[in-house]
Amino acid sequence: MKVIISFLKKYKLLSFAIVALILSFSLYIANYHTASNIILGTAVIISVMPLLWDMLSTLRNGHYGIDILAATAMITSVILGQYWTGIIIALMLTGGEALEDYAENRAKAELKSLLEHKPKIAHLVKNKITVDVKVSAVRIGETLRVLPGEVVPVDCSIISGNTSIDESDITGESMPKDKNPGDKLLSGAVNIEGSITVKVTHMAKDSQYQQIINLVKSATASGSPFVRLADRYSVPFTIISFMIAGSVWIISGHAIRFLEVIVVATPCPLLLAAPIALISGMSRAAKHGIIIKNGGALEKLAEVKTIAFDKTGTLTNGKPIIESIKTFNGYNEDEILGYAAALETNSNHVLAHAITNSAASKQIKLPTTKNVKELAGHGLSGVIKGKNLLLGRLSLMQNNKIELKDIDLDSKKYTLSYMAIDQKLAGIIFFSDEIRPESIDLIKRLKLAGIKHFRMITGDSIQAAKRVGNKLGISDIVADCLPADKIKAVESIEDHPVAFVGDGVNDAPVLTVADVGIALGAKGSTAASESADIVIMLDSVSKVASAVEISKRTFYIAKQSILVGIMISIVLMLIFATGRLKPIYGALLQEVVDVIVIFNALRAHGTWRKVQPSQKNISL
């Protein structure tokens, strides 16, 4: 009973129409036909008033909506005494609104779950005492304790303890991840197993979960512009409907024939199917870690002809690896790598990590170092086994007058580190960026989705960019770009609409300029996420292909729903133009059409088949 009362309160117009129908039917059975008709007529007029008001408001704003057909059918039914026909149309419209509301609630379930799980309390550790504080009061550098089953309150890193973390609400990744001391945690993730102690790296307002919530609020609050698509068909459909109905009236001389036709032209498929498909598609994307801020972005993405990519951190991991080592003066590769790793052990430089990781993977035993010094902006010096070593940039070699003649290197293709031992060149380490494991599959999927033109826009040299482009099949490359150059590179593309995919702060301006800006938000910059129309929360560029596929599928279903509804309505209008069927039958048939079309639109929310990218890294 409580559920029924709650339903009646929520959908007042529908409830009013149902009550009027039941009461009128009871009076009709009791042979009080006049009273029954009065109640039905009153209910129809009351139901049509909000529709008329919305229609007038739309006209005042300079737009034309298709609801004039529904209003005409309801008013005509009352004028001609077809009260049962009128109440069925009223039930159709109010019931359609209730169904749309249901669809929105179903489609936004994943988005709402984010808000419901927003962390509110944090366990602050201070002077070995744990106290509960509001998450908003937590500051950077403070120590927190996160218990099993709890939501990580802010972005942080593990100080002590081991656990498994569920990041599905943040990234869309369903598999839990093992986390150990030193690993970073995103706010909003769930601590599955052990109790851990963490150090705060971002305040609540700057943490990943709050950024997602802000994006979700933006997405849910944005009005659906997809009504414009329905309006593209509204004028011709309305004209056709009135032409058929008017012609039948004129030829037959009976006004009831006008009503018989106009009843089956009521436009619920156009009014409801498109918004339902749009909301369902946005929710479908969110379910897979793709936050689409507004319906306009989804619509443009479905029509995109060109996709431009940033290179570093987008198509590549943005982390250098050792490509090769060239040796001189009798040294071998393992010796050079071991010496370099020994010097770089305590360095935080990105190239140092590549060297030490490579040495560790080869299980090279590092020699003992002495007098290691950092030469700011140039490299390192040190002593190993009584030998004086220099490791660093070309300028370090030049400053120390190390002989480099007769060495033919295309340094523009690679990042290089030079090693000299006792004033003689001993080795050169070649570094390259690593293509994301899913990047090749991404391009293939986008081509299958109908994208024919790709452009890589990067700040790297043309040689380095071509090496990546050749591996991925991207020949249109614009290199050596500053942020302003990236904007020009996007604006110069002829095949619009254009989507741009990036992750860094320097990508924020071009993400705004592109027809559709797509940011990799899992590890990218906040500025990029805020500038973009679509944010990929999972650290996988393959989700760009998923977003394109979902958008195209969504708009295919939406257009299909609209056109199917129009075609069925036109066929029914021609059938009812014969005058062999009463208006009430037309109202009942249109109700069936509406339900079919709307449930067809709900297919846009269906489960998306996940495509698992290859886990094998592709080295350049």
Mean local confidence (pLDDT), 512-535: 74
Residue 182, class by beta-carbon neighbours within 10 Å (0-12 exposed, 13-18 middle, 19+ buried)? exposed
Q: H helices within 138-253, ranges in order?
A: 168-171, 208-221, 227-252
Mean local confidence (pLDDT), 450-473: 86
d(CA 281, CA 295): 9
pLDDT of residue 114: 52
Mean local confidence (pLDDT), 242-249: 91
Mean local confidence (pLDDT), 281-287: 79
pLDDT of 412 above 70: no
Domain ranges of the chain: 318-434
pLDDT band at 523 (very low <50, low <70, confident <90, very high): low
List of residues 6+ apart from 470 with CB closer than 8 A: none
d(CA 153, CA 137): 11
**Region of poorest pLDDT, from 94-103, 258-267, 439-448, 577-586:** 94-103
Looking at per-residue pLDDT, the higher value among 405 and 7 belongs to 405
pLDDT of residue 291: 82
Q: For residue 366, give the DSSP letter.
A: P
- The answer to whether the CB of 327 falls within 8 A of the CB of 426 is yes
**Region of poorest pLDDT, from 202-216, 410-424, 451-465, 467-481:** 202-216
d(CA 495, CA 498): 7
Instruction: Render pLDDT for 532-554 as a digit per residue (tens, 0 to 9).
Output: 888 887 778 899 999 999 999 88
Measured CA to CA in angstroms, residue 561 lies from 48, 217, 281, 550, 555 at distances of: 25, 28, 14, 16, 10
pLDDT of 413 above 70: no
Q: Please work out, in degrees rounded to the nearest 5, the angle formed at the alpha carbon of residue 283 by the alpha carbons of 278 and 288.
A: 130
* Amino acid at site 137: A
- Four-point Cα dihedral 526, 528, 530, 532, nearest 10: -150
Instruction: Render pLDDT for 43-79 as a digit per residue (tens, 0 to 9).
Output: 889 888 887 777 777 666 665 556 777 788 888 888 9
52: left (phi over 0), alpha (psi -120 to 50) or beta: alpha
pLDDT of residue 618: 35
- Given the structure tokens 């790709």, which residue do they identify? 454
pLDDT of 159 above 90: yes
pLDDT of 352 above 80: yes
pLDDT of residue 224: 44
Looking at per-residue pLDDT, the higher value among 280 and 139 belongs to 139
Q: For residue 30, give the DSSP letter.
A: T
pLDDT of 572 above 50: yes
Q: For residue 152, give the DSSP letter.
A: P
- For all residues of the chain together, what is the average pLDDT? 80
d(CA 219, CA 283): 10
d(CA 104, CA 604): 12
- The answer to whether the CB of 182 falls within 8 A of the CB of 161 is no
Q: Name the CATH architecture for the domain at 318-434.
A: 3-Layer(aba) Sandwich (3.40)
d(CA 341, CA 202): 32
Neighbours of 92 (CB within 10 A): 25
Alpha carbon of residue 48 to chain centroid: 38
Reported for 17-21, long-range contacts at CB under 8 A and 24+ positions apart, including other chains, are 17/43, 17/47, 17/87, 17/90, 17/91, 17/94, 18/91, 20/87, 21/87, 21/91
pLDDT of 614 above 50: no
Q: Can you tell me whether residue 616 is helix, strand or coil?
A: coil
pLDDT of residue 526: 55
Q: Which residues are catalytic?
A: 310
pLDDT of residue 610: 42
pLDDT of residue 205: 81
**Region of poorest pLDDT, from 51-60, 353-362, 524-533:** 524-533
pLDDT of residue 198: 95
**Region of poorest pLDDT, from 46-55, 441-450, 540-549, 566-575:** 46-55
pLDDT of 609 above 50: no
Half-sphere exposure of 146 (CA within 13 A, CB side): 37
pLDDT of residue 65: 57
pLDDT band at 222 (very low <50, low <70, confident <90, very high): very low
List of residues 6+ apart from 462 with CB closer than 8 A: 477, 479, 480
Phi, psi of 477 (to 5 degrees): -130, 135
pLDDT of 459 above 80: no
Q: Can you tell me whether residue 251 is helix, strand or coil?
A: helix
Phi, psi of 490 (to 5 degrees): -75, -45
The DSSP-derived string for 71-128 is: HHHHHHHHHTT-HHHHHHHHHHHHHHHHHHHHHHHHHTHHHHHHHHT---EEEEEETT
pLDDT of 487 above 90: no
pLDDT band at 151 (very low <50, low <70, confident <90, very high): confident
pLDDT of residue 104: 53
Looking at per-residue pLDDT, the higher value among 571 and 602 belongs to 571
List of residues 6+ apart from 558 with CB closer than 8 A: 226, 229, 273, 274, 277, 278, 281, 601, 604
Prior bond of 497 cis (ω within 30°): yes
d(CA 77, CA 259): 7
* Amino acid at site 619: S
pLDDT band at 141 (very low <50, low <70, confident <90, very high): very high
